[in-house]
Every structure is written in structure tokens, then in C-alpha cells.
Amino acid sequence: MKKNLTKLSVVLLSLILVTSLFAGCSKTEGAKGEQIMVYNVGAEPETLDPGLNTSVDGGITIINCFEGLTRLDKDGVPGPGIATNWDVSPDKLVYTFHLRKDAKWSDGTPITANDLKYSWERIVNPDTQAEYVTQILMVKNAAEVNAGKMGADQLGIKVVDDYTYEVTLAAPTPYFLEICAFPTLIPVKKDVVEKDPEGWATKAETYIGNGPFKMVSWVNNDHIMFEKNEHYWDAKNVKLDKLKFVIVVEASSALTAWEKGDIDVIGGPPPAELERLKSEGNLKIFPLLGAGYTIYNITKKPFDDVRVRQALNLAVNRKQICENVLRAGQLPGTGFVPYGIKDADGKSDFRTVGGDYLPIEPDIAKAKQLLADAGYPDGKGFPEVTYCYNTHEVNKAVAEAVQNMWKTNLNINVTLENMEWKVFIPKRQNGDFHIARGGWLGDYMDPMTYLDIFTSISGNNDSQLASEEYDGLIASARAEADPEKRMEYLHNAEKFLMDNAILCPQNFTVQTACIKDYVKDATFTSLGFWDFNRAYIDYEVKNAK
């Protein structure tokens, strides 16, 4: 999932937000018995439509307002969601889900298997143009339906009755139950969506979900307010009465608000403050299945030459980026798939087995030779190109570091351009860039969550790669039942990306956060989501400060 850490380019607006967002949000809230928590979501989400969202900030809102067939626990293990339980056929191709009869939408109407059928057919429908259609391609005939070669009636799903939903897969998929908890496969309410396809997910009154919380107001570029969903099947265990997502983009401004007590939870405090926060005991570091990298538009000169891309990759000092810029224990990105995903044997790590494709410190001699071979000796004649990134202190610092490395080591000039998230994403998707910041958080614990984003069918394939060879490797991995052969296809797919320098990995990420000590049971998963369905404020601790 695309990692969005920021959105706003004007510092003054951030400062105004810090002083105005929290009017009426006193430190003693809760004295009347209400449980209220404030979380900084950072940037305003591009979309909150579960089927169309691709970013982490949007995903955090979605999983707190919606629920899929399954729901992930704090360890990322799928458990009951809308479905109380499920049966799996011996060949692991057919899943029969038994739905809760007390599962309801936030407007009080019941959820049935037909809601799931509608939602999944909507995702695979080519007219929807869901960027994350790859998340459903394990379902039988999904690829053919999405390509317009088959009708929706041939998709491998079946409504047995109102509370029994059957799914047939094209091949055994070890992460399928995890995917069932992911926003893309979460059900949406048909009558609400069809009445206003473009706007239903932009207004509180039509944002009808089925999760622990319901949206009650949304003030653009300011905050989103949620309340406990009284119709949620497990409402008795939801402790928060209100949940407020504030939109403070600049990390330094968010930290100031957190230290004043105006925000309870923030992610990504400024790198310059990490050592201080750590010494004060105020820094939390969580494992994260994430990667930070740069992508090239391989259809634009000079990046249509693999030697240029390889040269730039070898000129980057990954150790320096991790130790001097990020400074929170990140590991150098020597491949694309991060540590934390098991290989075929269930014991070894995919990254360890795959090995290092790139050096931790730059190989300047080889990089210069590759650039010369491409026709740019000592950088001469290299066109001026632009590196775009979405506005944030961390993104800016990394971009400046990489810009300097390329100038120092290869004598090439790169112009930096920052932009708001809602401008940045379409620019990448449309291929309107030379070089761009990239960040990806895994959506499930399998290498496929990284590797399928570069297939030609993927809406997240911003590099514009169109390779039959690569598509074939991913398709073979999807169809392969043997775990060892399947993993071999995935290793070969990563090797293709690295050998052809489709992207420039820089680091494997962690999540830094500041959490007030009175915040209890707020769950952060290694997939990058904050789940507040069990969270609460200990007001005895808070009001004692």
C-alpha cells in the first residue's frame, strides 16, 4: 500500500491548524464519562472508498469504519470479522464463509452475502478502474472478468444464502484470509454507492460502514470526527465514544501539538527530534513491513536505458540514508522485498534467501562506468531531470540526500519538486515524471504484496513497466500450488526488477510514533494500520498530569 506521510506544502497553514484544530479539545475531556481519543492522520486521504483506496492514511480510516470477512488481530493474524467461521476444501480452493446474523451497516440495516457479491464484482469490473484489482485476482476467473473476457457471473463467488458466501480460488493462496480483511475486499453498501458513485465516500451522511466507528463529520483539511457505531456487532467491546482524526501535515507541527497534549497519538515525528524523544522515553518504534525507494519512469529518456538506472542505483549510499537521515534503526534496502516475510520452508526469510542485489555503500567506479557506457561520461550531456516527492520533512531530507549523492558521485543534476499528495499520486500514475519518491507497505505477509504492483495490469505500476516476461512470472506464481516452485517464481520476479533497475531501493522502514501514556490498547500492525477498536483513554492517568 502506498505510504503517504504528508500533504501540505505551506508551513503557515500547518501552524494555523495547530492553533485552531483543537478548540474545545481540553485535557480533561472525558470527565463526563465520554471516551475521546485524538489521532493525527497526517494527510487528508485521496479517497475513503474501500474499493478505490491505495494509501495508508485512507486505509486507517477504512478499517476503523468498516470490516471485512475477517479482521486482523494485533499480530496480523486473521480472525472472525463479518464471518464467524469458514470451511476450507481439502484442495484449499473453496472457502465457505458463514456470516454473522447480527452484522449490520451503521444505518442499522443487515449485511448479507449479497453485499459481498456486489462489492467484489464492483472491484473486478473494468469500468471501476480499481487500482488494487490485483488483490482479488486469486479468485477464479477474476483476471478474465477484469479483462472483459468473461462476464461477472463467471467470477468464482456464490451466494449460497443470505448468510453463506462461497469463494472459489484459481489456485491455493496462502494469504487469502489476510486479504479478506484488507480494505479492497471490504463490502460497501450497494444503494448508497450506486446513488452517488463519485461522492458517497466524501460525506459523513453517506459514509455508511459496518465497523467499530461511524463518521459523523468531515471538515476538509482540518479533521474527521467519528463516533462509536452502535450497530456494530461487537459494540459492547468498543470503549471509545469518539475518535477524532486531525489533519496536521508537518511532522514538527504535529509533534508540538502532541507535546501540548492536543493530540494523543502521532506517527513519524521529525528525524531531528528522534534522539531527544528517545532519551525522554517518548519515542515508540514498531516493526513495519515497508520499503522506501525511488522509481524511474522507464519510458522517458534517459531512464529508458537500463545502464542509466543501474548507475543511479549504485551511486546511492543506503547506509548514510539510514544512519544520518532517517535515524530510527531502518535497514538499508538492498532488495525490494523487506525482511519479515517467510520463504517456502516457513522458517527462512525471503530477503535473506534472495540476498543483496545492491550494495549498502555506493560502488562509484562501476556506477561511473555504466553511465559512461550509456553515453554520459562523467555526467556530461546528461539532461536535467526532476525528482518529485510528496511534501514532508522526511521525504525532503531523503530526496536532498539522494540528489547530493548523484551530483557528488556521478556529476549529474537533479531538480527536486515537492507537491501535495492529491497532486503527487495522479502525476505518478499518469507517468508524468522522471523520478519519483516511492514507499510501499505490505498488505499481507507474502512477497506477492510487493511484486505484483509492477505487473502491467496493476494500477500501482507507476514505473510504466510493461513486460510479458515479468507478468508471466507473477501469473505463474499465482497459479502454482507447490510452495517451493511458487517461491522460486517470486524470487525470479524480484531478480528481474533488480537486474533491470526498475526502482532504486533505499531503506526498509520502521514506524516511529509518539503515544501518550494514558492511551491504552491502540493497535499498530506491521502492515501500517492503526486499529482503535479496542483502544481507550485512562483518564485517571491523563487528568493526573
User: Residue 76 has which C-alpha cell?
Assistant: 496480523
Angle, helices 468-479/483-499, rounded to nearest 10 degrees = 160
In angstroms, rounded to a whole number, what is the distance separating the alpha carbons of residues 298 and 225? Answer: 42
Q: What pLDDT, on the 0 to 100 scale, is given for residue 393? A: 83
Q: What pLDDT, on the 0 to 100 scale, is given for residue 4? A: 54
Domain at 1-65+191-264+516-545, CATH class = alpha beta
In angstroms, rounded to a whole number, what is the distance separating the alpha carbons of residues 281 and 454? Answer: 40
Q: What pLDDT, on the 0 to 100 scale, is given for residue 33? A: 75
User: Could you say which of 3.10.105.10, 3.10.50.40, 3.50.50.100, 3.20.20.100 is the CATH number of the domain covering 286-510?
Assistant: 3.10.105.10
DSSP structure class, residue 177: H
Q: What pLDDT, on the 0 to 100 scale, is given for residue 25? A: 43
Q: What is the largest CA-CA distance in the chain?
A: 72
Whole-prediction pTM? 0.83
Q: What is the pLDDT along the chain (545 residues), one digit of tens a residue?
A: 765 533 323 333 333 333 334 444 434 455 567 999 999 998 888 899 999 998 888 999 999 999 999 999 877 889 999 999 999 999 999 999 999 999 999 999 999 999 999 999 999 999 999 988 989 999 999 999 999 999 999 999 999 999 999 999 999 999 999 999 999 999 999 999 999 999 999 999 999 999 999 999 999 999 999 999 999 999 999 999 999 999 998 999 999 999 999 999 999 999 889 999 999 999 999 988 999 999 999 999 999 999 999 999 999 999 999 999 999 999 999 999 999 999 999 999 999 999 999 999 999 999 999 999 999 999 999 999 999 999 888 899 999 999 999 999 999 999 999 998 888 988 998 999 999 999 999 989 999 999 999 999 888 899 999 999 999 999 999 989 899 999 999 999 999 999 999 999 999 999 999 999 999 999 998 888 999 999 999 999 999 87
In angstroms, rounded to a whole number, what is the distance separating the alpha carbons of residues 365 and 361? Answer: 12
Whether residue 302 is preceded by a cis peptide bond, meaning omega within 30 degrees of 0, is: yes
In angstroms, rounded to a whole number, what is the distance separating the alpha carbons of residues 336 and 463? Answer: 14
In angstroms, rounded to a whole number, what is the distance separating the alpha carbons of residues 41 and 49? Answer: 16
Q: What pLDDT, on the 0 to 100 scale, is given for residue 459? A: 84
DSSP structure class, residue 45: P
Listed by start position, the domains of the chain span 1-65+191-264+516-545, 67-187, 286-510
Please state which CATH number belongs to domain 67-187.
3.90.76.10
- What region, left, alpha or beta, does residue 399 occupy, with left being phi > 0 and alpha being psi -120 to 50 degrees? alpha
In angstroms, rounded to a whole number, what is the distance separating the alpha carbons of residues 139 and 162? Answer: 20
